[in-house]
Structure 1
């Protein structure tokens, strides 16, 4: 029960990240918002590392941390923040959930392995789901939606690159991977700051959104995710991916008044089910591993 509660909590937190980006991306600009996000997260993880007496060895593993920091943090965060200036939180969370689909495609190319019929079916479902969502957004927003939608898809693509890199990367503790890559992301985003200035001085709501995005949705969320990996295993912990759109849609509707249309429901169901096919995940698998963990 505790692991299931952590899973729901993590999904709610990560679903909320799109809400906070939606609030802060336009006034602060993508670069300032993401620099603040990764800086708050890095400081949070630094404090935890002192408490846990973790030795980061950043210089010795700098190349590894910078690769992770680029593809798993800085670049996708910047792309999503850019998209959040135009797209609603629901759309962002659904497009984010395509990351495992991109991971499967990149992995097949990387290893020169043919995809199974189940995976191909999942890919087709995911593509149709994204098409339903993207088509509706483009119709509502017009041509201005093309670049934000492309950026959000490329952000998920970056996560696919990162997941495949991690499989063959140096074997470093997951906590240090998150901590080190977050500091690398801080350094990577700095050069972007002069090119995307702040549009308006942040008020209390914007400042709170940035703080929660960095400390809760990034720093604390990673800690919960690592605990889930220990309790359930990596594959079952990834089931949080399927729950994030549910909370992304809910938070967007609750706090921003975003409409939950039929296209949102149909698109999210197709993407989530398609991702389950691609990853080979099933609810029975989660329950089985949960039972083993509790025994």
Structure 2
């Protein structure tokens, strides 16, 4: 990629990696549901003029029902689940569990759309879920004070993303991505409006919490979506999706530097297994290419 696109790629990873930090700060003051509701509402307000000026408003209106629905399972519910998890587990572990989205995406596409993965990709699914098990078994304590529900919340959020991806492929193909991106935030906002008002904290939130939720909405959602679709257009979806591998790196770094979170060998090892599985399952690493290169090199 050209240097400019590389810089945008790194910026996207940095923004999405920081979302866990901001959501943790906001969730402590607003609670998980209100944090998610505020994040999507802020992002929707920022993206509204963008989608209108870009000429995609009519496309959004024509497919409003399905776009609004996908927003609830692709933004509203998973944002709330991650905000809940961040009250109990580290930002680094949350980001690593978030990196399982391509694994669940491949599994859902197989079960729902009939997209059977090739042998090596199936091996990647198995390897990735082994990594998740290694990461989770020490954390999955459901006794009082345990973090088992937080781990399950992260995995449930990953499943939501996976379902949304297959739903989009089945019902929203051909719709301008910006219409889907903006409309999904509107749908998530509508879906979380009543729960957000119902769970609104009795005590006023402080300035830091408001700044955190604003950053999550404006930077980590609205701006990140704009960068994401720009990169897909300029560099292609396959290269853009490799951002998945950098998000945990940034999240772990932020957590260690700003929150004094420990980086344990177990987390690094389990996270590496997860990312290796994701790389195989998504085709980023394909052993068949190595074999073809060796055969080509052996030719006279």
Q: TM-score, normalised by structure 1?
A: 0.90
User: Could you say which residue in structure 2 is the equivalent of 1:183?
Assistant: 186
Counterpart secondary structure, 1:198: coil
For residues 233-276 of structure 1, give each alpha carbon's deviation from its aligned partner in whole angstroms, at most 9, with x where no partner exists: 11211111111111111111111110000111112111111101
Indicate whether 1:85 and 2:92 are aligned: no
* Alignment partner of 1:148 out of 147, 150, 169: 150
**Contact 1:29 1:199 (C-alpha < 8 Å) held by counterparts:** no
Structure 1 SS opposite 2:102 = helix
Most deviating of 186-195 and 223-232: 186-195
CA deviation string 1:28-73 (max 9, x = no partner): 1112111110111011111323443442454432221122112211
Matched, 1:203 2:206: yes
Change (3 A) 1:61 1:104: same
Q: Answer yes or no: is the 8 Å Cα contact 1:56–1:179 preserved in 2.
A: no
8 Å contact from structure 2 (residues 59, 175) kept in 1: no
Query: Aligned partners of 1:102 and 1:274: how far apart in 2?
Result: 11
**Unmatched segments (≥5 aa) in structure 1:** 285-295
Say if 1:14 and 1:221, in contact at 8 Å, map to a contact too.
Answer: yes
Deviation of 1:75 (Å): 1.1
Shift of 1:78: 1.2
Aligned to 1:35: 37
- Deviation digits for residues 87-124 of structure 1, max 9, x if unmatched? 11001101111001001111111133543321222122
Q: 1:218 is matched with which residue? A: 221
- 1:273 match: 276
How many Å separate the matches in 2 of 1:56 and 1:252? Answer: 42
Deviates more, 1:180-189 or 1:274-283: 274-283
**1:123 maps to what in 2?**
125
Q: How many residues align?
A: 284
| TM alignment of 1:1-295, pairs within 5 A | 1-138=3-140, 144-170=146-172, 171-198=174-201, 200-282=203-285
User: Cα–Cα, structure 1 residues 251 and 200, in superposed 2: closer, same or farther, change >3 Å?
Assistant: farther
> Greater shift after overlay, 59-68 or 254-263?
59-68
Cα pair distance change 1:201/1:166, threshold 3 Å: same
Change (3 A) 1:56 1:268: farther
Unaligned runs of 5+ in 2: 290-300
Matched residue of 2:246: which SS? helix
Cα distance in 2 between the residues matched to 1:252 and 1:230: 32
Asked if the contact 1:35/1:189 (under 8 Å) is kept, the reply is: yes
Equivalent residues of 2:60, 2:180 under 8 A apart: no
C-alpha deviation, 1:132, in angstroms = 2.1
Corresponding residue of 1:293: none
Contact kept, 8 Å, 1:56 with 1:180, in 2: the verdict is no
- 1:288 maps to which residue? none
Does structure 2 retain, via aligned residues, the 8 Å contact 1:23–1:206?
yes
Residues 266-275 or 133-142, more deviating: 133-142
Computing the radius of gyration over CA atoms, which structure comes out larger, 1 or 2?
2
Distance 2:50 2:10 in 1: 23
For the 8 Å contact 2:82–2:154, the answer to whether it is kept is yes
